[in-house]
Amino acid sequence: MAFEDVVIERNLNKWNVLVASLIAGFDKLGVLSQAVVNKDMEVVADKLARFFKVKGNVPQVDSSSSFEENMKRIIEFIDRELELAGESSVTLEGENVTFEVVGNTCHFCPKGVGEAELPGTACPYPSLLMNFANKFLPEDQQVEVVLQDRNYLKKEGGKCRIIFRRKS
């Protein structure tokens, strides 16, 4: 699909294009990978957490709520604030908190929007959400990403699925 069609299909704004292309651009140097994006998003998550604190706009998290409830609130907060995708959902399944994005509505995909041509994934969301959440979750509710077949996310039926659970 031509980029021009992607802009319309995903209802992209200029910031979506800027960020997705910025990440994708590293593929031109041969240095883009999921691991690199994960590292990079540690920094981004820290900066965003500090940004939202300065602005007095933070996710509503409290130690009396369960990990799953708090994590759901944090994901929904960041999804709302950054408009990660046109269609997404957060579901609770036992100990897992699952964030699903309809692939062709994702606003920051380095492959779908940025047109990076690497064989694996380079999704910013697993590390971004995990590290951002860990800035707000109570110490006994720190979160980690559940690997799916050794991957940080799994694409199935047109949806990208990221699973989180409480760090053991």
Partner 1 sequence: MEETRNILKEFLKVEGVIVAALVSFDGFLIDGVGPQGVDLEDMAVAASTGYGLGKRLGENIQGGDIKQIMLEYEKRSVIVAKVPFVDVILFLVSEEGANLGAIRYSIKKHAGELSKVL
Query: Given the rule CB under 8 A, which residues bind partner 1?
Result: 28-36, 38-39, 119-121, 150
Tell me whether residue 38 or residue 141 sits nearer to partner 1 (CB atom).
Answer: 38
Q: For partner 1, which is the closer residue by CB, 34 or 70?
A: 34
Q: Considering the complex, what minimum distance in angstroms separates the CB of residue 62 from partner 1?
A: 32
Pick between residue 14 and residue 150 the one whose CB is nearest to partner 1.
150
Q: How far is the CB of 109 from partner 1 (least distance, A)?
A: 16
Looking at the Cβ atoms of 90 and 162, the one nearer to partner 1 is 162
Min CB(30)–partner 1 separation in Å = 3
Q: Does residue 89 contact residue 100 with C-beta atoms inside 8 Å? A: yes
Other Cβ atoms closer than 10 A to 26: 19
> Which H, E and C letters describe 17-35, residue by residue?
HHHHHHHHHHHHHCCCCHH
How far apart are CB 79 and partner 1 at their closest, in Å? 25
Residue 111, judged by CB atoms within 10 A of its CB (0-12, 13-18, 19+), counts as buried
State how far the alpha carbon of 44 is from the alpha carbons of 114, 144, 148, in Å.
Answer: 18, 17, 24
Q: Which amino acid is at 137?
A: L
